Structure 1
């Protein structure tokens, strides 16, 4: 075992980047997909490495409390350590901090309110909201919860900008909640993903045009949808294309604030 470990460590040393960190992250991500535990050999196969490559790394993760090993089967599982770290800085709070200044600018520039939505099970909730300074307008309440259906532009955008597996899961939710066949949803989401946004007349409020753009993480997956209900007004914002351009720019800026790659 020791000779195999040394050879693997030498191979790691020749790789660019931070191979030890990459190895540790690969292990954590693989373990996260195995709630019932997994053997060392199976885990090595899962991430495409040898047992020797992961032997010491698993020991360190176990020593630091990120991984536990079953006393009888020897299978490895994630502990609650990562959850404990996450609770110190909840994602929704980080997202709010990154988004609110940009959203307030968007509301001021367009004279319209905007809101930020995140998925939660078979619903989505409004985690941030910015009002315009105009005396009249249309807005969605902070903390409001809506069913994850095709009626809502926020739901469509969140579902469209996902990797294949997650998108399939959300398509199933949309189909179930909207009572429509799943095979008719995927093409619509693909069109949205290609365009980079969604814009359509509101199915809830007559006269509104709903427009939404994704807030994405480093992998390009949507963590939220930034949505602007467009209400034409006589003296301002007659052109929805102008508001859409401002909305998409705001979504890009928020995405950059939460760590998305920038072009």
Structure 2
């Protein structure tokens, strides 16, 4: 949770409700009132009324008698936001074609207040696939998506993104790596990131920008490439990257770059 000791204007009840939502969003398990209170360093009585209101408003559900978990209401609200909704709706057909042609999974991620959020995902057509669920938060510094979003930001926007990451306490990924600026310059020059996954062995991040005006990234389209050793008639990594770059150009054009081309 954020340290708001220096905030000039505080709303303790709102903070309490947001703390509960963020806590439940960070766990895959339902929690009891006592567990929530302990995790937030509050008494059970302190959060009882707030939990009751969140249940009544449909943001939290009471399950198994005395346990609480998030509903999909926040997810639905997020997808009512017009820019994200348009981006996802335009991206899904392109992502489906990529997955079919490359026989790999892919996902679309955007930057949001110090973190990278997956807003759309497409499985590979085969049984074998590596995918990241919609709504997942991934690192700004240790993922292909994060690198692409930083590389295709203006200097001012990049500085804001990194400062916001620090200010919002998004410290769940690695510290800023040495040589990052040089790496980002190379990504912008070549138009993509290709790197071994820092989370899973044998997986490679193939990431390309979805570009808007002024060559800034609206999102990052990433294929967590999983090499196949059981078949020889599937696209290899560089072929998959070529298909992904074609998808990036198509989507960038649809979303406002006109006849311009994504970097080659």
TM-score between the two structures when normalised by the length of structure 1: 0.62
Secondary structure of 1:211's aligned partner: strand
Structure-1 separation of matches of 2:162 and 2:122: 29
In structure 2, the partner of 1:68 is none
Structure 1: where are the runs of 5+ without partners? 1-86
Secondary structure of 2:125's aligned partner: coil
The verdict on how the C-alpha distance between 1:251 and 1:101 changes in structure 2, with shifts beyond 3 A counting, is same
Work out whether residues 108 and 118 of structure 2, in 8 Å CA contact, stay in contact via their aligned partners in 1.
yes
Report the structure number with the largest CA radius of gyration. Answer: 1
* 1:254 aligns to 2:246 (yes or no): no
After superposition, the CA RMSD in angstroms is 2.2
- From 133, 137, 143, give the equivalent of 1:152: 143
How many positions carry a matched residue from both structures? 175
* 1:218 aligns to 2:213 (yes or no): yes
The verdict on how the C-alpha distance between 1:89 and 1:206 changes in structure 2, with shifts beyond 3 A counting, is closer
Structure-1 separation of matches of 2:84 and 2:190: 26
1:211-260 per-residue CA deviation (whole Å, 9 max, x = no partner) reads 10000112210010000011111314352110000001101111111111
Aligned pairs (5 A) from 1:87-236: 90-148=82-140, 150-172=141-163, 177=171, 178-180=174-176, 184-233=179-228, 234-235=230-231, 236=233
Runs of 4+ in 1 over 6 A off after TM superposition: none
Structure-2 separation of matches of 1:139 and 1:88: 24
Work out whether residues 171 and 185 of structure 1, in 8 Å CA contact, stay in contact via their aligned partners in 2.
no
Structure-2 separation of matches of 1:226 and 1:99: 9
How far the C-alpha of 1:169 sits from its partner, in A, is 2.3
Work out whether residues 114 and 162 of structure 2, in 8 Å CA contact, stay in contact via their aligned partners in 1.
no
How far the C-alpha of 1:137 sits from its partner, in A, is 1.3
The verdict on how the C-alpha distance between 1:164 and 1:139 changes in structure 2, with shifts beyond 3 A counting, is same
Structure 2: where are the runs of 5+ without partners? 1-78
1:21-41 per-residue CA deviation (whole Å, 9 max, x = no partner) reads xxxxxxxxxxxxxxxxxxxxx
In structure 1, the partner of 2:15 is none
Structure-2 separation of matches of 1:218 and 1:105: 25
How far the C-alpha of 1:97 sits from its partner, in A, is 1.1
Higher helix proportion? 1
- From 220, 238, 242, give the equivalent of 1:241: 238
The verdict on how the C-alpha distance between 1:98 and 1:224 changes in structure 2, with shifts beyond 3 A counting, is same
How far the C-alpha of 1:172 sits from its partner, in A, is 4.3
